[in-house]
Amino acid sequence: MKIDRIIPAVIAASSILLFGCPPKESGGGGAASGEIVIGHLASMTGGQATFGQQTDQGIRLALEEINAAGGVKGRMIRIITEDTQSKQEEAATAVSKLISRDNVTAILGEIASSNSLAAGPIAQQNKIPMVSPGSTNPAVTEKGDYIFRICFIDPYQGEALAKYVANDMKLTRAAILRDVKSDYSMGLADFFKNTFTQLGGTIVADSSYAGGDSDFKSQLTTIKSQKPELIFVPGYYTEIGQIAVQARDLGITVPLVGGDGWESPKLIEIGGKALEGCFYSNHYHVDDPSPAVHQFVASYEKKYGAKPDAMAALGYDSMKFLAAAMERAANLEGPTLRDEIAKTADFQGVTGTITLGPDRNPLNKKLVVLEIKDGNLVLRATVDPAAGAALAVTESAPATGTETTTAK
């Protein structure tokens, strides 16, 4: 995921600070036989705080399991988390600290795409592999061959959502309400729009707001006049709840549909009943019957006393994914570790099977569609090409309890 546009001056300044730094000694901290230090860039505070907090908890659960099993190459791993404060300029500063001060072997993060875009060039320049758990904007991994991700990307997400809306919900008239300050929102809106119109749908309105706004009634009034059958809102949970409440206050009853930026324990807390019947795409669902998900959820609940959301699952997978590559690598020097990460194939994670393509993005990553029903998240459909399913989603008739369907 996903926030405002990059601030070039900040990135340039941070890059100059670290320009020419030699690759670090293997293992972090300069000790070939001591602990391995990994950095985590996370929005622990600010507008997307639940993204960072949940991801950090998932990473630390995985870390406990890895260290309990002997670590990597017989060495313990230590995580240093730097708070980006949900700001891209802070992301650039944070990654600089992790590299120059903490001598990290690799970096996990960020979730927000704009923060990863700010940090990525600095990691690239210093030959420190960086693995984003959840940045979905395509440009993130285009910043260099040291930048990876384990999540699906927005063209895939937008296409899947458009197909679900058109083919399964049988809706043909959509309005869009996008955040003009967010690369994530702008890109995902375009990818949805392109596929939806190719399938014969009509975009009856394409309105916008700016992240941080609290009054959306003018845009929603215009949208209502165009009589859409759904409103596609590819934003963040902080605004989505407010948009839903104001839409219902205006008498708009059609479902809101969005992407993984909705994912947060705060979403339903903010939007309440106004979100009933709304849908969004996500990376996993807590009630997935797979053994990997069941074990992860049980371990997470035991440690934290709550069910893990998708950001926690992505954090958990990213730590296990990186540790597996480090274990395989001949040494932990940047270039060697980078090459080993790039070779990853058929890694079995909580969020699905991860095989990296030549662009350092996962191929055919699992995606789920969730519905908000009776204040809970219901698994409505699953798209899992790695399991032999096509991208098009086919939903069966409603079943009792959690409804799970798989694309055919």
Burial (CB count <10 Å: 0-12, 13-18, 19+), residue 380:
buried
> Which of 43-46's residues contact partners 24+ apart within 8 Å by CB, and which partners?
43/83, 43/84, 43/85, 43/86, 43/110, 43/111, 43/112, 43/115, 44/81, 44/83, 44/84, 44/85, 45/83, 45/85, 45/86, 46/84, 46/85, 46/86, 46/87
Q: What share of the chain is helix, strand, coil (3-state, %, to 5)?
A: 45, 20, 40
CA distances from 279 to 161, 232, 377, 389, 402 (A): 9, 10, 9, 21, 15
CATH 3.40.50.2300 at 155-282, yes or no = yes
CB 63 within 8 Å of CB 75: no
**What pLDDT does residue 152 have?**
96
> CA-CA distance, 12 to 113, in Å (whole number)?
18
**What pLDDT does residue 7 have?**
41
> CA-CA distance, 374 to 314, in Å (whole number)?
26
**What pLDDT does residue 388 have?**
58
CA distances from 252 to 145, 192, 249, 281 (A): 46, 21, 7, 22
> CA-CA distance, 236 to 240, in Å (whole number)?
6
**What pLDDT does residue 182 have?**
86
Stated length of the chain: 408
**What pLDDT does residue 16 have?**
40
Helices (H), ranges, 164-206: 183-198
CB 265 within 8 Å of CB 50: yes
| Average pLDDT per consecutive 10 residues, the chain (408 residues; last block may be shorter) | 42 43 43 84 95 98 98 98 95 98 98 94 98 96 97 94 94 97 91 97 97 95 98 95 98 98 95 97 93 97 97 98 98 98 97 96 94 94 70 36 32
> CA-CA distance, 76 to 28, in Å (whole number)?
11
**What pLDDT does residue 5 have?**
38
**What pLDDT does residue 25 have?**
42
According to DSSP, the residues that pair with 208 across neighbouring strands are 178
**What pLDDT does residue 387 have?**
64
**What pLDDT does residue 386 have?**
64
Residue 312: partners with Cβ closer than 8 Å, 6 or more residues away: 54, 55, 57, 58, 61, 300
Parts of the chain belonging to CATH 3.40.50.2300: 8-152+291-354, 155-282
Is the peptide bond between 110 and the residue preceding it cis, with omega within 30 degrees of 0?
Answer: yes
Task: Name the superfamily (CATH) of residues 8-152+291-354.
Answer: Response regulator (3.40.50.2300)
The helix/strand/coil state of 49 is helix
Cα-Cα-Cα-Cα torsion 179, 183, 188, 189, nearest 10 degrees, comes to 40
**What pLDDT does residue 291 have?**
94
Question: Which residue's entry shows tokens 């990876």?
Answer: 148
HSE, CB side, 13 Å, CA atoms: give it for residue 86: 16
Structure tokens given for 141: 């991994």
> CA-CA distance, 294 to 235, in Å (whole number)?
29
CA-wise closest residue to 382 among 271, 284, 247: 284
